[in-house]
Each structure stands twice: as C-alpha cells, then as structure tokens.
Amino acid sequence: MRSLALALIVILASASAASADPWDMAALMTDLQGVKSSSAHFVERKYIHLLTTPLESTGTLKYAAPDKLEKITTGPVPEAIRLDGDTLSGTHGADGDRFSVALSEQPEISAVVEGIRATLAGDLATLQRIYLTTFSGQQSNWQLDMVPRGETVRRLVSAIRISGSGTMLRRVEMLENDGDRSDMDITQDQP
C-alpha cells in the first residue's frame, strides 16, 4: 500500500513538473510552426506627427505557411498587399494603382516584413538574424519585442512589438525613428 501511495506521489509530482515547464520563445516558435494558415480582421491606427488624429483603417489578414501574407484593407481606402516569397505586390487607391517590389532589392522593407512573416512561421533563426529579440509572458499572454540589428533598418524602424495568446497574434506595434508609429489590433477568425 505504501509503495502504491509513493508511486502515485511520484507520478503526480512528475506530471506537475511537466506541466510547469516554462513556456518561452522557443516554445512559441515551435507552436507557430504548426500553424499552416490563418485569417483575421484588423484595425490599424497610424500616428503621424504632422496630424492631430490617427489614420485608421480596417480589413482582413490572411497567412499561408511558410511565406504568404495578404492584407486587404476595406476602409477607408481600398488596398490589397500580397507577399509571396520575395515579391510584395498589390493595389492601392480608388483607381487600383498596381505595384510590385522584389524584397531582395529593398532591404529595409524586407527586414520589416520578415519580422512579421518569420514570427508567423515560427522561424526563430531568421528573427534573431535580423532582430535583437526579447520575449516575456506566458502562453496565454506573451510579448515579443524586436529591435533591428542592421543600421539601415534602424534608420526606418526603431522597434516592433508583437503580442499574442498561444499561436494567435493580437497586436502589432511599430515605432519609426521619425516619431511616427502604428498599431494594429487583430481579431482571429474562428476555425
């Protein structure tokens, strides 16, 4: 009887220790690698130092692992931005002006885009190659702070902060060196 009680105590202690394992950035990245696609609604606010009120836009976001992102702004001005591999393309404005850019030719833009894409893909190596990262929180409420390593990128963006719960991104904030900033609140679509 004593050995049974002792065995139960050992099993319960082991289970408790296993569930108390720290959830850290590596665990987040592993979990994010398992997400093959997602979609969400967003509200984005851009704070421009020359304006007294922020510019607000709304729309949808779509992600398909490992390297496809789409941001479709429905208001106030329609815009569609698509990232597929190295190509960033889309349309903007009421008349649908088209654009296409190879990220390999735009290192500053590439670094900003890769901060988001590498996070979604759970690509820790890429994130840490481009950014100094700081992670805090727990699985239900985490925060990832990223400061660009490269001087050319730091001229554009001073920091990016992404927060979330589990594998769902909830907010993306970007601080620019000229004092402007943006924040995007994200509401994940239900599967």
In the chain, the number of structural domains is 1
CA dist., res. 128 & res. 131, Å (int): 5
CA dist., res. 75 & res. 67, Å (int): 25
Residue 131 counted as domain residue: yes
Residue 166 near residue 30, CB atoms below 8 Å: no
Burial class (CB in 10 A: 0-12, 13-18, 19+), 145: middle
- Alpha helix segments (H runs only) across the chain: 2-19, 25-33, 107-121, 124-130, 151-154
Quote the radius of gyration of the chain (alpha carbons, Å).
Answer: 20
C-alpha 113 chain-centroid distance: 9
Residue 8 counted as domain residue: no
Supply the range of the domain harboring residue 137.
22-188
The residues, ordered by sequence, that sit 6+ positions from 19 with a Cβ below 8 Å of its Cβ are: none
Residue 17 counted as domain residue: no
Residue 5 counted as domain residue: no
Residue 12 counted as domain residue: no
pLDDT digits (tens, 9 = 90+) for 143-181: 999 999 999 888 889 999 999 999 999 999 999 989 999
Tell me the whole-structure pTM to 2 decimals. Answer: 0.85
3-state SS of 108-146?
HHHHHHHHHHHHHHCCHHHHHHHEEEEEEEECCEEEEEE
Percent of the chain with pLDDT over 90: 75
Q: What is the CATH number of the domain that holds 27?
A: 2.50.20.10
pLDDT digits (tens, 9 = 90+) for 81-116: 999 999 999 998 778 899 999 999 998 889 889 999
Residue 4 counted as domain residue: no
Which pair of tokens denotes residue 190?
């239900």
Average pLDDT score over the chain: 88
C-alpha 13 chain-centroid distance: 36
